[in-house]
Amino acid sequence: QKGCRAAHNNNNSCKRKRIKIRITKKMAGETTTNATGEKAASFGKAHVPYGEDGSGHYTLATKGCFDVIENAKELCLEALNKAEKPNSSTTTQEQALCIADYGTADGGTSMPLITELIRAHRKRDPNGDVLVTYEDQPNNDFKSLFFYVQGIKDLGRDGYSKSYLEEFDNVYVTACGTSFHKQCFPSNSVHLGVSFTAMHWLNKKPCNITTGVHMTQAKGEERDKFAAQAAEDWENLLFHRANELAPGGRMVIVNFCVDANGYHLGYTDKSSVCMYDEFNRHWQAMMSEGKITKEEYEAGTILNYYRNDAEMRAPFAEGTRVFAAGLRLVSAETKITRCPYNEDYVANKANRDAREAAKGIIGTMRTWSNSSFLTALDSNTRTEAERKALVDELYGRYEDAIAADPEKNHMDYAHH
């Protein structure tokens, strides 16, 4: 949980805002600064949405993210309940409750949660306005987001038949195409922030990883460079969230991590098979066969970092600018959320087709990793069709390996 920002009232007492890695904001009246650094060198390379614009592919192919968010629902409802209401004694004018979803992708996976949050808020403020604002990269699939929100496209989830816009009056929706590595919303404007499996993406690539495709495989100086970039990014983005939170506001952040057992996304106690080792095995084989160059192999570095517990907590320590801004860590825990495609196959394998299970597992992996490999291929010497064919081959190889033994292959989520 994040802590809240401190705001002084006339009695000079301090109220806090909270997030799940929770934060406290600075005093009212203090000057805020914009995010440091240049435009993200990763734009168009880190996480380009996979699938046709407006197809809602991310939501339809990412069942596990629904489960991650469902597991955080009670935490989010608690945060909303403890957040200071808009239009309380500390505000000077009427204000809508502002819920911000950072790194939203196409928005579908968080819609059931946001519906529950609005329903809970209506119990304490039956007629008040609610503003739901979504944040992601400028190249995000915002078309699908608005199709989902407006009820034009169905989520494909049992028990969720209509959008919260159709269910509740006085609810309004906006979107922001500014990266969460910068300040996205006006200072003191967000009452409840949420972010799910997003803030592990880095602002820029510190180097290529020559010993694998992911930071969990990096060694020596390369690992150190990724850790340093991740630390800088984490502190910056928390500082910006501190500025955005309203006095008494809260936030819940669910981030991928490396836990105390060394488990991370795609590698848990379920089996000895590690997703990133498999990606690397097939990508490296394509290099060995001369299908891609050494430079292209190394450029296939996935631009994210999974923080351990100490790295997650570091910006909240006394003496940091995050601490000085008033942010406080209220609570934190680590969880494993199981891969639903693997779980379904294992529970029902007598009636499940191994190839279909493999398609589900590889499909959810591809939603977020496709662009890392596609942009690694040399666009000066290869046509777009050739590059796409090579990436299709990579995922085809991995899918074949999963189909041979779906029980051992998974994308379990390890997260704070």
- Amino acid letter for position 153: K
Q: Is 274 helix (H, G, I), strand (E, B) or coil?
A: coil
Mean pLDDT of 39-66: 81
| pLDDT reading at 17 higher than 80 | no
Q: Phi and psi of 100, rounded to 5°? A: -115, 130
For the chain, what percent of residues have pLDDT higher than 70? 87
| pLDDT reading at 32 higher than 80 | no
Q: Phi and psi of 174, rounded to 5°? A: -135, 170
| pLDDT reading at 53 higher than 70 | yes
| pLDDT reading at 23 higher than 60 | no
Cα separation, 406 vs 403, in Å, equals: 5
The answer for residues whose C-beta is within 8 angstroms of residue 41's C-beta and 6 or more apart is: 203, 204, 205
* pLDDT band per the 50, 70, 90 thresholds, residue 43: low
**Contact call for residues 341 and 361 (beta carbons, < 8 A):** yes
The answer for residues whose C-beta is within 8 angstroms of residue 24's C-beta and 6 or more apart is: 3, 4, 5, 6, 16, 17, 18, 242, 325, 326, 327, 328
**Contact call for residues 168 and 96 (beta carbons, < 8 A):** no
* pLDDT band per the 50, 70, 90 thresholds, residue 327: confident
Mean pLDDT of 388-397: 98
* pLDDT band per the 50, 70, 90 thresholds, residue 34: very low
What count of other Cβ atoms lies within 10 Å of the Cβ of residue 174? 12
pLDDT tens for residues 131-175? 999 999 999 999 999 999 999 999 888 878 789 999 999 999 999
Q: How does strand 335-337 pair with strand 413-415?
A: antiparallel
| pLDDT reading at 248 higher than 90 | no
Taking all residues of the chain, what is their mean pLDDT, rounded to a whole number? Answer: 88
**Contact call for residues 98 and 55 (beta carbons, < 8 A):** no
Residue with the bigger pLDDT between 286 and 90: it is: 286
Q: Phi and psi of 38, rounded to 5°? A: -95, 180
pLDDT score, position 30 = 31
- Encoding tokens for residue 108? 């579908």
What is the b/e burial string over 3-26, where b = at least 16 CB atoms within 10 angstroms of the residue's CB?
A: bbbbbeeeeeeebbbbbbbbbbbb
**Contact call for residues 187 and 243 (beta carbons, < 8 A):** yes
